[in-house]
Amino acid sequence: MKIVFATHNENKIKEVQKIVPEGIVLLSLKDIGCTEDIPETGNTLEENAIIKANYITNKYEYDCFADDTGLLVDALNGEPGVYSARYAGEQKNAEDNMDKLLSELKKHKNRTARFKTVIALNLNGKQELFTGAAEGEIIKEKKGDGGFGYDPVFKPTDYNQTFAELQLAVKNKISHRGKAIQLLISYLKK
């Protein structure tokens, strides 16, 4: 089975390719000739995942899946949430985003947070949604050089390391995206 993962984020593609079983060939947007940025105009993670999946299905006529992920910080009323990638501006710079987050949290004791990923799958004319979440907290300074996005400041519950410090195999088992992808894979195997 060939399926498009509707993202330009090479880190996401690498992460997901490690999880997808043999027999499922993952195509990137580059593989199908899609170079444009797909607009993320939804107000929720679900809406953005659906917008991206529908864009590829309608324009390129491929079965595909798309995800949207947000970091939801309790002390910030769920921010940055749907705006996680562009929290510090449209340049979508991870360092700027983390710096802004750490600055915003300086005056807060409660640092609990969760990552949430929603995947929209368009397959054979039907659409399904899969959701994964990872609970944890935002630490006070960046640690680790693995992962991407907010990984250096997010420490998952029951772990002493950030997502950026954990081995990818461990992160993929416990992460929001890993959980959502496992639900997607289970569905595809039916």
Active site residues: 68
Best CA proximity match to 45, nearest among 126, 129, 113, 109: 129
Structure tokens at 14: 């690498």
Structure tokens at 31: 């593989």
3-state helix, strand, coil in the chain (%, to 5): 35, 25, 40
Best CA proximity match to 108, nearest among 157, 81, 78, 74: 74
